[in-house]
Amino acid sequence: MVATWSVDRLGQSLTDLLDILQSLREKGVGLFLDQQGLDTSTTAGKALF
């Protein structure tokens, strides 16, 4: 699980962010974004992810 305060803390550009999100997904690593209330370990979070 990777936890961060907000989605804007993950990457400096949209392409960076998409690359990071794809890498996490491929490795089966969960993501928790505090400000957005997103937790990809839940069913709802996976659907939003």
Each of the 49 residues of the chain gets a pLDDT tens digit; together they read 999 999 888 888 989 988 998 999 999 999 999 999 999 989 998 888 7
The structure tokens listed for 2 are: 């990777």
| Residue 7 three-state SS | helix
- In degrees and rounded to multiples of 5, residue 2 shows phi and psi of -105, 130
Q: Tell me the CA distances in angstroms from 17 to 9, 10, 20, 36, 46, one per residue in order.
A: 9, 6, 5, 15, 17
In whole angstroms, what is the distance from residue 23 CA to residue 47 CA?
Answer: 17
Q: What are the domain boundaries of the chain?
A: 2-48
Q: What are phi and psi of 31, to 5 degrees?
A: -135, 135
